[in-house]
Structure 1
């Protein structure tokens, strides 16, 4: 049976491949999101949306902004944790924070976070002796932190409130609760696996020592705080009426975020929004859309502008620093050159 499964896997990889499946899945998700958005928003009153934006309390927006800042602060620990996991202890927190914030801010908005965020990380970490393989390991461990946090939040949330996930996947409470319990069982199995012995994955020159049991618990906590800060920011921006509890919103938010992630659309644009509009059907569409627009402004556009500015200023500073170093070396060259020329000139004259 095992050999049969391996043969099927080889045939699948050879003739289909996960890349093609992922591409088709992205198209299906994006196509569905576009259809949903058109159906729900083609009659929307834009003036009502702007009125709802202006009517949003500045206090709520300010608190949401603080939660967003907390989320990005937590993201900096993704990189610090990954660096310590792969043994790069010489890189200080400030560099990990710079790489974490800029890579995620830029990657979230451009899309293909693994590649765009990886490129930003490589530009920063390469100056501290890390190569492409090291950066790939950092991306892997950071991604593992993200997924462990998601599995934990969704597992607990769906088990407690299966109806919240049902608003998106259209499955019954019993099925969703079974999914939640299954996610928690997978998480428990992984924890048991890393608790019992040191674990390593990869082959050849690319291997990663996975965090041990206690360290994995810390990894999960980092992922949970990241998601909770983001969900709290969204919670502050949705309409006050009708009231829904935070756990329900958190489950909907995380599920919508994962759908946006699976679509590979920049910032989950369209996909995340469609999922939120479908799941939070009880809200006035114009008011909910106003909240979604404010969330995109706070979580995507403002950090993106800040990250691009930081990266740009840093590149200019490094360029000027390099130019200054060349200028400081240049007078030495201009002084030594005539001396060498004079000495070379004296040789033939004396020989003559």
Structure 2
């Protein structure tokens, strides 16, 4: 069986190419999501959405903004943790925070975050002597933290409320719970694997020593806090009736986020929104109120940080150019 799978993988790689397959999958996800989204909102009176936006208590928006800010603050530790993992303890937190915040803000909105976020990180870290391989290692460790956190939240959440993702991923409840428990077993196996002795991945000029057991647990905690803050922001912006538990909302939110990430659509546009609506409307939420909450979250989590990141990066470039010209015009 393993030999057959390898033969299929080799055939796909040689005859089609994994890049083309990835693009095709992204296009398929976006197309399906837009079709679903249209079916859910095409007959919606957007005047009702405007009313729902105006009716949202301002303190809900303020509290959601605080949790979004806390989520982005946690994101900065993805980079700090990665820098310490690859042995660059000389890079201070302020630089890690700058690279982490701007790379994720730009990557979230532009799409293809692996490349766009990596380019932003390289621009920031190259001033501290990191080369392209070092930045790739930072991206790898930060990405590992992201996936460990997501897998843990989904594993625990779906095991607790297995029917929460049924509207998004229509599988039997027993299968959802089984997959969640299998995910938790894989996570526990990975933690045990890195706990026993140092594990190195990569070869030749690109090698990374994976964080050990205790540090891997720290990665998971960082990821959970990040996702928890963002899910709390979304939970606060949701209608108060009917009631939805935080864990159920968190599972729907993380699932929608991952689908948006997989689509490579800028900001998960269309995909994230369709998944959120699909996951919530079966609970008899008012469509206009749900859409208003999703739109507010988009503003707080995507647009505002993106604008701030562009201002910060633009200001940094102006400062770097100004300092460069000052040195050139100074006494020799």
- Which residue number corresponds to residue 17 of structure 1? 17
Partner deviation per Cα, 1:243-285 (whole Å, 9 max, x = no partner) = 0100000000000101000000011000000001111012111
Larger Cα-atom Rg: 1
**Aligned-residue CA RMSD (Å):** 1.1
1:312 & 1:69 partners in 2: Cα distance? 21
Partner deviation per Cα, 1:84-115 (whole Å, 9 max, x = no partner) = 01111100000000000011011111111111
> Does 1:208 find its partner at 2:200?
no
2:251 & 2:194 partners in 1: Cα distance? 27
> Does 1:56 find its partner at 2:56?
yes
| Equivalent residues in 2 for 1:77-156, closer than 5 Å | 77-156=77-156
2:191 & 2:26 partners in 1: Cα distance? 31
2:3 & 2:49 partners in 1: Cα distance? 58
| Equivalent residues in 2 for 1:1-352, closer than 5 Å | 5-281=5-281, 282-329=284-331, 332=332
1:157 & 1:131 partners in 2: Cα distance? 39
1:176 & 1:10 partners in 2: Cα distance? 30
Partner deviation per Cα, 1:133-183 (whole Å, 9 max, x = no partner) = 100111111000000001100000000000101121111211110011011
2:177 & 2:107 partners in 1: Cα distance? 33
2:24 & 2:285 partners in 1: Cα distance? 32
Using the TM superposition, name which of 76-85 and 166-175 deviates more.
Answer: 166-175
Q: TM-score, normalised by structure 2?
A: 0.97
Distance 1:42 1:219, change over 3 A: same
2:145 & 2:17 partners in 1: Cα distance? 26
2:5 & 2:203 partners in 1: Cα distance? 22
1:60 & 1:323 partners in 2: Cα distance? 47
Distance 1:85 1:34, change over 3 A: same
Structure 1: where are the runs of 5+ without partners?
Answer: 333-352
1:3 & 1:233 partners in 2: Cα distance? 47
Q: Give 1:37 shift.
A: 1.2
Q: Secondary structure at the match of 1:169?
A: coil
Q: Give 1:8 shift.
A: 3.8
Q: Give 1:238 shift.
A: 0.7
Runs of 4+ in 1 over 6 A off after TM superposition: none
Partner deviation per Cα, 1:7-66 (whole Å, 9 max, x = no partner) = 443333212332222111111110001111111111111111011001000111100000
Q: Give 1:189 shift.
A: 1.2
Structure 2: where are the runs of 5+ without partners?
Answer: none
- Which residue number corresponds to residue 340 of structure 1? none
Q: TM-score, normalised by structure 1?
A: 0.92
Aligned length: 330
